[in-house]
Amino acid sequence: MGYLNHQQGYREGLLELRSVVKKDNYAVLTPDGLVNNVVPGFDDCDITILGSPRIGARFVDYLVTLKNNGGNTQGFGGNGIQTFIYVVYGNITVTVDGKDYDLTEGGYVYAPPHLEMTFVNNNKGQDSRVFLYKKRYQEAKGVGQPEVITGNKNDLTWKAYEGMEEVQVTDFLPADLAYDMNIHILSFKPGASHGYIETHVQEHGAYVLSGRGVYNLDNDWMPVDKGDYIFMAAYTPQATYAVGLDEEFSYIYSKDANRDIE
Ligand code: UGY
Ligand code: MN
């Protein structure tokens, strides 16, 4: 990551960017176009803001590389903002409400809106990378209070997505009205696809964990690859085919849930 001068970029082919941004509709952000942002509270980190209200999302997603003892020890979220952290690689320690959670690859913590989280790299001098999410919590009458949720994706239950065994899905948060959103991984065997082109009120921010696919976003067919980020706004038509020979095409994504529209 970082800036290149034009000649250097041209020589290395980097001015042929795959990224596409269609505000309030969809975006594909590829790793070669990402730049570092400075965000107070994040120290010794490379941080990139991905989906955000600036492209029409009601949440914010980040990709953060934690170096040395990097992290956020000031506090992320809380005061009405719920947060979720997922380890793409490395080892980190997350603290919520005085409790420490040591996470390895695939590990995650959800912090409810009344609690902030802190986190620090714990990877013996090597970088760790996390996918980070925050969203203002939408209150609702008659529902419980969300709680801290933690675990590892390898221990989650996978099920066939809409009856298709070749597409598996997992839910990170409980099916409980206390939660106004959920985080999932959707994983497609090579050649598998959605059963139809979804068009729904919910929005998504998705980070590709493995494999590659061709994604229909508002009827534009976009190649997407491991490390890409996809924003899908409310009502954006969406479906994908997984391509490749053996690697599953999988992405972690957020989806608002369990609430009326304000
Ligand atoms: O849950 C979903 O809406 C999901 N199947 N959407 C998607 O993969 N684009
Ligand atoms: Mn969807």
Average pLDDT, the chain: 95
- Domain check: are 215 and 243 in the same one? yes
The 10 Å Cβ neighbour count of residue 11 is 11
Please report the pLDDT score of residue 1 as a whole number: 42
- Domain check: are 19 and 97 in the same one? yes
Domain count, the chain: 2
The ipTM value here is 0.99
Cα 209 from Cα 231, distance rounded (Å)? 15
Is the pLDDT reported for residue 157 higher than 70? yes
Between 10 and 76, the higher pLDDT residue = 76
Q: Over the stretch 218-236, which tens digit does the pLDDT of each residue have?
A: 999 999 999 999 999 999 9
Query: What distance lies between CA 13 and its chain's CA centroid?
Result: 27
- Domain check: are 143 and 173 in the same one? no
Could you tell me the residue range of the domain that residue 94 belongs to? 6-152
Last residue of a domain, one of 119, 152, 185: 152
Cα 184 from Cα 169, distance rounded (Å)? 7
For residue 17, name the pLDDT band (cuts at 50, 70, 90).
Answer: confident
Write down the residue that tokens 């997922």 correspond to: 86
Question: Stretch 55-77: mean pLDDT, rounded?
Answer: 98
Q: For ligand 1, pick from 159, 172, 198 the residue to mutate: most ligand atoms within 8 Å of CB.
A: 198
**Ligand number nearest to the C-alpha of 182:** 1
Last residue of a domain, one of 152, 172, 197: 152
Domain assignment present for residue 261? The answer is: no
**Ligand number nearest to the C-alpha of 253:** 1
- Domain check: are 169 and 61 in the same one? no
- Domain check: are 203 and 219 in the same one? yes
Cα torsion 103, 182, 48, 217 to 10°: value is 130
Domain assignment present for residue 15? The answer is: yes
Asked if 37 and 48 touch (Cβ cutoff 8 Å), the reply is: yes
